[in-house]
Amino acid sequence: MSIETALGALQSLLGDGLTLSKSERDLHGGSESYFPDTPPDAVAFPRNTDEVAALLRICNEQDCPVIGWGAGSSLEGHALALRGGVVVDFRHMNKVLEIRPEDMSVTVQPGLTREELNIALRDTGLFFPVDPGANASLGGMAATRASGTTTVRYGTMRDNVMALEAVLADGRVIRTGSRARKSAAGYDLTGLMVGSEGTLGLITELTLRLQGQPEAISAAVCAFDDIAGAVAAVIDTIQMGLPMARIEFLDAASVRAVNAYAGMTLPETPHLLLEFHGSPEGVKEQAALFGEVIADHGGKGFEWATRTEDRTALWTMRHNAYYAVLASRPGARGVVTDICVPISRLAEAVEAVSADIAESGLPGPILGHVGDGNFHAILLIDPDSPADLETAKALSHRMVERALDLGGTATGEHGVGMGKLDYMAREHGAGWDVMGQLKAALDPNNILNPGKVVPQG
Amino acid sequence: MSIETALGALQSLLGDGLTLSKSERDLHGGSESYFPDTPPDAVAFPRNTDEVAALLRICNEQDCPVIGWGAGSSLEGHALALRGGVVVDFRHMNKVLEIRPEDMSVTVQPGLTREELNIALRDTGLFFPVDPGANASLGGMAATRASGTTTVRYGTMRDNVMALEAVLADGRVIRTGSRARKSAAGYDLTGLMVGSEGTLGLITELTLRLQGQPEAISAAVCAFDDIAGAVAAVIDTIQMGLPMARIEFLDAASVRAVNAYAGMTLPETPHLLLEFHGSPEGVKEQAALFGEVIADHGGKGFEWATRTEDRTALWTMRHNAYYAVLASRPGARGVVTDICVPISRLAEAVEAVSADIAESGLPGPILGHVGDGNFHAILLIDPDSPADLETAKALSHRMVERALDLGGTATGEHGVGMGKLDYMAREHGAGWDVMGQLKAALDPNNILNPGKVVPQG
């Protein structure tokens, strides 16, 4: 039993669909995280589920690790081939298989990206709402339980994956869920696979819930004197049940970076960026109600943009905030953090993290999906400074400890990967052992993305 | 190892909290289904999680089956003690532990019922939306992944349970999820426990998502000439993205029964019952849009009721539809069915089931949560007629086969229990074996609700 034997069998199976080239291995051995690159022994490009199943049967027999790969955009080193083996890149399995407008659902292959899907849906009046920022693959988004700016309204991948086809470690192909909108028929295997980060199976097909394109969309920015005012406005808005489609926070440092990057002139104080979806009347009413909320919390410069180009400019700015922040310290590398707390503890969490960062001396703008209690800091380090990296790691550690102290979670949306593994024991207690038992039951040889998510023996 | 030994140890542990009385055993050995009563050997009434954990440790050592019990309102015989053992009745664990209005969440014990919870929430401006009709316990609702009339807007228990405390077969206590609104931290154990019907653990605490009480509520009834018109109106409404809070279907036979039972005078044709939640303006706008939709499908007599007493009358009528239908055949017993199909196949499914029932000669009004593609027939049988029961079973069987043929599920909300076990192999294929593997990993002695949900060895 060896990786080498597996690679021989895989070459017979996949032909051109397997490569041992150094450049491909290097490309599939890196990540957006600060963890060292760890190239796999080979990269496979399967064309269909049968090939994935045959690949897994071979690798399971040979104890050869198998790691799924979508767009490579995950932030916590999810796909690093810690023990070598084969990275399975789903780029050739990127078809839209069936759009069912009357059911508001679509079936796709895992390599399709969310932007490609929305282009394919353009003429249907429907869209797929989950938006993590990056143009991630839908298989990867399901595997990491991605969410993002629109989750406050439309939910995470947990809420938007209706059914899956997945291949287990031993090559068995399972179909979970159905095309019905709900079911009470047994264990929720779809939910178990979503967020399992490739440790329980490889996703080979997804059925996703779609949303109707709203008749009217309105977006806005709004400035606050301080973090507390902005966060209090978010809390009030949620409690009123206002159905915001997006409600994003940028701290003063993020706004400063965005101004410099995009040539904008926003006041350099904390901001909320918002979007409402609905009927023309509904959107107008929501805007008026939100205007009343922010007036109570010192919100200023509240202006609505209903024109598509103005809205696009606003959300392009938000999506580019990461690059804007990076550009604010030339040559810097960003260490991106991710925590999520109960809404009631959000102001406390943001202010404490803000103070920690200020004290550290590292630049670290804070921004995030505050309607979910989820936010990030982009800690800017000199890539040649081990001291900077240590400071960033210590800040990130402190952030997670604060999130857990406040009844929150170590990761709202980026996932466990390499970066959050050390916190799982504290966050889940005995539940983490249970995750290990489930993993052992379905992947007894531990070939699927070994070294991730569950306790390491 | 024996049940008898377990009972001795449990008596020492629980004192008064364990009874072997015939009356309690009989009370906890029945169900709302047509399956024969199967009383347990004893009934336990634990007062806290520690007692539940100690009970499970004893029963696991002694191979004594343990079956959870909430309000006893499940419809598929979920809690029948097929192999004897102990039924654990959570009636003493029925506290509201903490209401957190600012987080829009609440933590409760499993024996609390949904109506009790909503009474406790009355002054907070919040409510718990999941409404299966019966005043079920919240632990039971989570265990069966309950849903109901408001699911089209607010989701099922899958969407509304944020976190759980559960005791596993071996007595380990786990806490799943957190108070944050989302998380990407490892496997979704909350989702795995929800809908596991007491076969993976006993739920001892639940943290539930709450909703703001809508500023305005409006309800309506609307008559159609035929099933196709009513269902087409539902599909159009969903595709427009109208955020109905409820959209319920009653066929002509159900309307006839309701008229007779409640002294009403609705035209005896298929009806939709609706409710919209929102701002006063929003509700008015939704009503106008819905009026346009039904005009295209022959909807008639569309009238809105915004007064609380009128709305209450309407939903009392809906909630009493089961009793109304029962009363329409004096002395009859109702065999209640439950399937869910993709919305696009709903008209086809309802019409085919309707024709099957008409052909059988049994009275069987159809009604359901059509916004989810979920509907029921209440098959009225003479309790003394084995032939009637066989006809009802054959109809129910045919319904499930139709649902699966149409890409749906054997149960939208009632769960597997005894009634749907035989369909799991077809619905889930290899996935059903996976469910069995998960069960074996967490409950190797098969003491938790044995004989249910998973393949039986």
* pLDDT value for A316: 85
Contact B368, B132 (CB under 8 A): no
Using the Cβ of A414 and the Cβ atoms of chain B, whether some distance falls under 8 Å is answered with: yes
CA distance B137 to B130: 12
A119-155 pLDDT, tens digit per residue, is 999 999 999 999 999 999 999 999 999 999 999 999 9
Q: Please tell me the predicted confidence (pLDDT) of residue A143.
A: 98
Task: Name the CATH topology of B96-212.
Answer: 3.30.465
Identify the pLDDT of residue A126. Answer: 95
Q: What are the start-end ranges of the E strands in A70-215?
A: 86-89, 96-100, 105-108, 126-127, 161-167, 173-177, 202-209, 211-212
Q: Which residues of A touch B180 (CB under 8 A)?
A: 340-342, 372-374, 403, 407-409, 412
Please say whether the beta carbons of B43 and B25 come within 8 A. Answer: yes
A57 touches B: beta carbon within 8 Å = no
Check B191 against A189: CB less than 8 A apart. no
pLDDT tens digits, chain A, 457 residues: what are they?
799 999 999 999 999 999 999 999 999 999 988 999 999 999 999 999 999 999 999 999 999 999 999 999 999 999 999 999 999 999 999 999 999 998 999 999 999 999 999 999 999 999 999 999 999 999 999 999 999 999 999 999 999 999 999 999 999 999 999 999 999 999 999 999 999 999 999 999 999 999 999 889 999 899 999 999 998 999 888 878 888 999 999 999 999 999 999 888 899 999 999 999 988 888 888 888 899 999 999 998 877 777 788 888 888 888 889 999 999 999 999 999 999 999 999 999 999 999 999 999 999 999 999 999 999 999 999 999 999 999 999 999 999 999 999 999 999 999 999 999 999 999 999 999 999 999 999 999 999 999 999 999 7
What is the helix (H) or strand (E) element at residue B281, kind and residue range? helix B280-295
Please indicate whether, in this complex, the C-beta atoms of B186 and A432 are within 8 angstroms of each other: yes
The pLDDT of residue A318 is 85
Q: What is the CATH number of domain A331-417?
A: 3.30.70.2740
Q: Do A96-212 and A214-328 fold alike per CATH?
A: no
Q: A with B: how many residue pairs have Cβ under 8 Å apart?
A: 294
Nearest partner of A19 among A73, A89, A80, A71, judged by Cα = A89
Of B172, B178, B289, the CB nearest to A408: B178
Q: Where do the structural domains in chain A lie, given as residue ranges?
A: 3-89, 96-212, 214-328, 331-417
- Compare CB distances from A182 to B156, B215, B235 and report the shortest one's residue: B156
- Predicted confidence (pLDDT) per residue in B364-388, tens digit: 999 999 999 999 999 999 999 999 9
Written as six digits, the tokens of A334 are: 């960003």
Nearest to B407 among A179, A215, A341 (CB): A179
3-state secondary structure of B384: coil
Q: Tens of pLDDT along B397-431?
A: 999 999 999 999 999 999 999 999 999 999 999 99
CB distance B185–A158 less than 8 Å? no
| Topology, domain B3-89 | 3.30.43
Please tell us whether the domain made up of B216-405 is placed in CATH 3.40.462.10: yes
A146 and chain B in contact, CB less than 8 A: yes
Hey, are the CB atoms on A187 and B196 less than 8 Å from each other?
A: yes
The verdict on a CB contact (< 8 Å) between A408 and B179 is yes
- Say whether A100 and B342 touch across the interface (CB within 8 A): yes
Q: Which residue has the tokens 């199943």?
A: A53
List phi, psi (to 5°) of B246: -150, 145
Q: Cα A112 from chain centroid?
A: 15
The DSSP H or E segment spanning A219 is strand A216-223
* CB distance B282 to B242 below 8 Å: no
Tokens found for residue A52: 């994935």
CA distance B30 to B85: 14
Shortest CA distance to A450 belongs to which of A173, A26, A63?
Answer: A63
The overall pTM is greater than 0.90:
yes
Second-level CATH architecture of A214-328: 2-Layer Sandwich (3.30)
> CA B90, CA B204: separation in Å to the nearest integer?
9
Closest CA to B415 of B134, B83, B16, B84: B134
Which residue positions in chain B have pLDDT lower than 70? none
Distance from CA of B180 to the nearest CA of A (A): 4
Report CB contact under 8 Å: A423, B238.
no
Most B CBs within 10 A among A105, A121, A181, hence the mutation to make, goes to: A181
Write the ipTM: 0.97
pLDDT of res. B312: 84
